[in-house]
A and B are shown apart, each in its own frame.
Chain A
Amino acid sequence: MSGAPAISTAGLGKRYGAKWALHDCTLEIPRGSVTALVGPNGAGKTTLLQLVIGLIQPSAGQVAVLGGAPSTKDVLPRIGFVAQDHPLYRNLTIAETFRLGRKLNERWDEAFARTRIARLGLGERQRVGKLSGGQQAQIALTLALAKRPELLVLDEPVASLDPLARREFLNAVLEAVAESEMTVVLSSHIVAELERVCDHLITLTAGRTQLAGSIAEIVASHRVLLGPRSDAGSVARMHDVIRESHTDRQTTLLVRADGHVYDSCWEQHEADLEEIVLAYLGYNPGASASRSAAVAS
């Protein structure tokens, strides 16, 4: 069991009516990684995560979590999940919320929960509904962490938070990762800050995955090419051109290239992660280069 990846999916799909919210998704997330799932709103991120934790059932394909089927009593206690907008019972106090966690989980680290609340400067008798959005997110995270999960799944955890609360939340995740072997998957439509937290990345657009792997490898395998205005055809024969943009004099290409691009016409630069991710989110492998060029320029 411990050899199994944290998450593995094969041909995973979810259909609502005639529309596929997630289509033919095959990926593997290794244990111990911190993976960002990036995509625009409506790309299927929530669908993928809800399939992983078993809140919904797939229409096609398989998903295995920690070597087992999601939402079974073997797997559930080992997963921590914070849903979008971190739902909590608003009329419960913090202490009651923790009691709920203790009652509903075999494993529950009460000392951890209490310490975190004290450090956040919150009183246990405070009602959850009276807390700020950032504090509620922290309570939801504490609830998920106190069950000492092997896999922590966060669905858009910081989308509704202000920049300060966002930073504090991600720091709390980082801290928890540092002191355990926990695997983390978090979805986001915000690319900034992810590099600080994550070591793996998956992009999802219109229900399909494009890019999946370790951030170091992703960055290493992409190059920005700068050159005089020209057709990208010669490069495209050798490498995937993810995005091209043109000015009057100059052409900029983002290419996927394992290793060096041996073409003296082009000036080469390292690509940064945000650039790569944004290029992929607008990338459609079926579309013609001229269309993506039109969009880019």
Chain B
Amino acid sequence: MTWVGWRLQRTETLIAVGILALLAALLVPTGLNMSHAYSSDHLGACLDFQRSPDCAGQVGAFRDRFQSLLDLANWFTLVPGVLGVLLAAPFVFDLEHGTYRLVWTQGITRGRWLAGKLGVALVAVVVAAGALTLLFTWWRTPESRLDGRLSNGVFDSTGVVVFGYTLFAFALALAIGAIWRRAASSVTVAFVAYFAARVFVEYKIRNSLLTPLHATWKGIKQPPFINNAIVISQRVFVHGHEVARDGGFFGGSAKVAVPSSPATQATVHFTYLPASDFWPLQLAEWGLFTGAAVLLFGFAVWWTRKRIA
């Protein structure tokens, strides 16, 4: 069954390997460049948020050089979706081409067939996700040291969430394909739905996954605790009256928009996820997507076993 599963998955797996190789061809040279620039410019010494003016120049130079590349790389957050739906395609092809009638009438039961076929695909999905997250985590190391790991660009492409995303796209394509039985359409719709789910979670769910911290800060200097943190809300009070309200991610260079006058009387209430929440937040989002993937996967298997003939 392993050979059969692999053989029927081979083309898609090789395409996935090709995509990863292409990505590596782009990321490895630029990543080497970046980490070289990072160490040769001694940016490691500038990590403290209270930077010297020298540091500002060095960090600025690094940004000027690499920011467009880093922005471009944010698009690669779509890659887990591409790989996930791609590796689900052979399962749907079986239903589309009627070959499930061939394999389900050989000597093994439908359950064993599904276990073998989806097992091989699942291994490919996990390995692909692992390769992606390793590649991106390495590539974004200088950026994550400078800006922290909670920025969307870094958070989405490093750590364990990539496994969740890839599995989710895979299971979504399986579930849609089990019902629709058209590989190209199912895979396309699954990818679009994956993208929508990612955007929704990123902008509507992520900030509420963990219980945020609250803090009050007086003055115009940027408080140390919001460095590299996700600020969910920031309310500025002057003499007890709220004068401003804001939120967002505060990377190394971001400044709080505190009114400059009468600055000394300003009190700011922060609601935020600190930089140290990276792993809890990663686990929470991984759990969200993986949980959804498990449900979709279970549905696809159930539907296929019970409803398809």
On A, residues with C-beta under 8 Å from B are 50, 53, 55-57, 71-73, 76-77, 79-81, 83, 85, 87-92, 96, 99-101, 103-107, 140, 143, 147
Shortest beta-carbon distance, B14 to chain A, in Å?
12
Contacts A85-B98, A89-B99, A104-B1 given; does A76 touch B7 at CB 8 Å: no
Q: What count of chain B residues pass the 8 Å CB interface test?
A: 22
Is B39 among interface residues, defined by CB-CB distance under 8 A?
A: no
A92, B7: Cβ atoms under 8 Å?
A: yes
B99, A71: Cβ atoms under 8 Å?
A: no
Is B106 among interface residues, defined by CB-CB distance under 8 A?
A: yes
Partner of B7, one of A53, A85, A100: A100
Is B182 among interface residues, defined by CB-CB distance under 8 A?
A: no
A101, B109: Cβ atoms under 8 Å?
A: no
A-B contact pairs, 8 of them (CB 8 A): A57-B306, A71-B109, A72-B109, A73-B109, A76-B105, A76-B108, A88-B102, A100-B103
A104, B106: Cβ atoms under 8 Å?
A: yes
A73, B108: Cβ atoms under 8 Å?
A: yes
CA of A71 to CA of B112 in the docked complex: distance in angstroms?
Answer: 12
Partner of A55, one of B1, B105, B109: B105
By secondary structure, the A interface counts as loop
By secondary structure, the B interface counts as helix
CA of A83 to CA of B94 in the docked complex: distance in angstroms?
Answer: 14
Shortest beta-carbon distance, A85 to chain B, in Å?
7
CA of A81 to CA of B98 in the docked complex: distance in angstroms?
Answer: 13
B105, A53: Cβ atoms under 8 Å?
A: yes
Chain A residues near B104 (CB-CB < 8 A): 55, 71
CA of A256 to CA of B105 in the docked complex: distance in angstroms?
Answer: 38
B84-137 residues at the A interface, CB under 8 angstroms: 97-99, 101-110, 113
B8, A79: Cβ atoms under 8 Å?
A: no
Is B199 among interface residues, defined by CB-CB distance under 8 A?
A: no
Chain A residues near B22 (CB-CB < 8 A): none
CA of A235 to CA of B104 in the docked complex: distance in angstroms?
Answer: 50
* Most chain B beta-carbon contacts within 10 A, residue among A80, A90, A100: A100
Chain B residues near A89 (CB-CB < 8 A): 8, 99, 102
CA of A79 to CA of B1 in the docked complex: distance in angstroms?
Answer: 19
Contacts A87-B99, A100-B4 given; does A50 touch B309 at CB 8 Å: yes
Contacts A100-B7, A103-B3 given; does A77 touch B107 at CB 8 Å: yes
CA of A89 to CA of B98 in the docked complex: distance in angstroms?
Answer: 9
Shortest beta-carbon distance, A6 to chain B, in Å?
16
Shortest beta-carbon distance, A101 to chain B, in Å?
7
Extra 17 A-B pairs, beta carbons < 8 Å, given A87-B97, A105-B108:
A55-B104, A55-B105, A80-B105, A83-B102, A85-B98, A87-B101, A87-B102, A88-B102, A89-B99, A89-B102, A99-B3, A100-B103, A103-B1, A103-B3, A104-B103, A105-B106, A147-B106
Contacts A83-B98, A103-B3 given; does A91 touch B11 at CB 8 Å: yes
